Amino acid sequence: MQNILGSILPEFSTAEKQKLNKGLDFIGVNHYSSYYVQDCMFSECEPGRGTSKTEGYWAQSSQKNGIPIGEPIEQDGNSFYPQGMEKIVTYLKQRYHNIPMIITENGYADTKSNSTTKELVHDAARVTYLAGHLNALSTAIRKGADVRGYMIIAMDVCLKLYIAVFLLQIFSLPPSISCELLNLRQGFHNLSVFPSDFLFGTASSAYQYEGAYLSDGKGLNNWDVYSHKPGNKIIDGSTADIAVDHYHRYLEDIDLMHSLGVNGYRFSISWARILPKGRFGEINEAGIEFYNNLIDALLVKGIQPFITLTHIDLPQELEDRYRSWLSPKSQFLEPIIFGRYPPEMQNILGSALPEFSTTEKQKLNKGLDFIGINHYTGYYVQDCMFSACEPGPGTSKTEGFYAQSSQNNGIPIGEPTELVWLNVYPQGMEKIVTYLKEKYHNIPMIVTENGYGDKNTVDSTTEEPLQDVKRVEYMAAYLDALATAIRKGANVKGYFAWSSLDNFEWNSGFTVKFGLHHVDHKTLTRRPKLSATWYKNFLSEHSKVKDHQQQVEYGKTSHFYY
């Protein structure tokens, strides 16, 4: 400044110099976005803000070679560049002897004037912005910056409670702040719809969770063999030999479930652990003991075991002999409920369909206890029997002459995600439940799987995988849609989120994550994500509503005499 401005700069008096020597208590930092800056003293700049002598001979731009410094946001000229928070704090630390600093302003502005009320309070972009900047700030602190506080710029009524200084302790918590997510109220308005005996839980499967693939007498299953076979289709070349080591860590995992407040846990049986040689060998008592111990530990915590008899994996012995389980007959709801295959199947497949024996028909007449629904997303479906379809999954005769697509006229059915097959379409939850209610006489239903998957980013920061805002939004929307179906009369008895832990996802290996808890697959350390906190609060609120409902019912049936 002295070189550029010279005598233009004012002189400090002796008294002023004495005051300045006392230093200052802290440096206040107002930080929103970042820019590329160009020196205009020794290089040519386009005229603009900052380029004059008194402004310092500099020019700023949010782009370099046409590429934005970060994701552009609605506010003109600003970009989402959380790294800038760490950089400015680190610069001030090094330049000014690490004088204490306070972030006196930081925040995200949106400019939509024609938004709906739901859109206005559903501020996912603000969540992402605040999480990113707080994470960057915590990185600077971890590297030694003496930051004493953080303040969000003035907000609307919804967030005024949180206009505050967050002391350093805040950085031990997930740094995601938003009206809905801090209050964790998203989706809570429908809690009274879920019955008091409703099952809320998490789901898993033996092969994806247990590991211990040759421990305590377990035999090989079909996926043990497949995952070790050269040329398989597992993206990252991984196996579930260890998976998340649920076999040895089930007590820890049950504690995690209990901390969420779930009252159900869906898991499957590894028959290779109980019948290592299929039907032709001895029973492995160690396998039975494991599941007995697992079930007992669940019951101690008040969690109802919900057992899936088989979940894709089966003893290799059965695979070798029969290529599957013994019965070759397809399992559909129509035969179980109506004692026959659907007319459409009969018309298409005719004599190719197996016949039911008299004994089988008698068994089918007994019906079923409930319908289990695994639901993640929705598709558009096209009839391929009476219209031309491009060849693909489902279009053949034996598959039913149908084609599916997540787009219609180039428009996705719902918000795309990192997974090609998964679009966020919560309306699908209400539609599938309502369809089953009407088609099958409202037999009890349980949502046995529902969850949001994202990709495992190798170069992500330590805290980034924990900030799963999109998973929170997904769960809230789908549970809201489920509640709508229940309110309209659907007899739904439970909901199981997939899944409590990041786990082995079949041919995707460990490249895809569905967990409410992050698992470091090197150390197997479990850490709760934001979605775990949300689900915990959701269940806590449901428990309060349930208690209130029970008190009301008790009041209706109780008589007091004085």
Q: How far is it between the farthest Cα atoms of the chain? A: 108
AA identity, residue 489: G
Cα–Cα distance for residue pair 303/308, rounded to 1 Å: 16
- How far is the C-alpha of 444 from the C-alpha of 491, rounded, in Å? 5
Angle (deg, nearest 10), helices 469-487 and 124-142? 150
| HEC profile of 494-523 | EEEECCCECCCCHHHCCCEECCCEEECCCC
- Cα–Cα distance, 64 to 146 (Å, whole number): 32
Angle, nearest 10°, between helix axes 246-260 and 530-557? Answer: 60
Find residue 424's DSSP bridge partners: 415
Residue 142 structure tokens? 């971890």
SS3 78: coil
**CA–CA separation, 453 vs 136, rounded Å?**
25
Active site residues: 449
Expressed in angstroms, the distance from the first to the final Cα of the chain is 88
3-state SS of the chain: helix, strand, coil percent to 5?
40, 15, 45
Whose CA is closest to 348, among 410, 398, 418? 398
Helix (H) and strand (E) counts in the chain: 18, 25
246: its two tokens: 């649920």
Bridge-based pairing state of the strands 445-449 and 371-374: parallel
CA 474, CA 453: separation in Å to the nearest integer?
Answer: 10
Burial label for 394, CB within 10 Å (0-12, 13-18, 19+), is middle
The candidate with the shortest Cα–Cα distance to 516, out of 290, 182, 256, 180, is: 256
Tell me how far apart the alpha carbons of residues 503 and 512 are, in angstroms, rounded to a whole number.
8
Encoding tokens for residue 431?
Answer: 């539609």
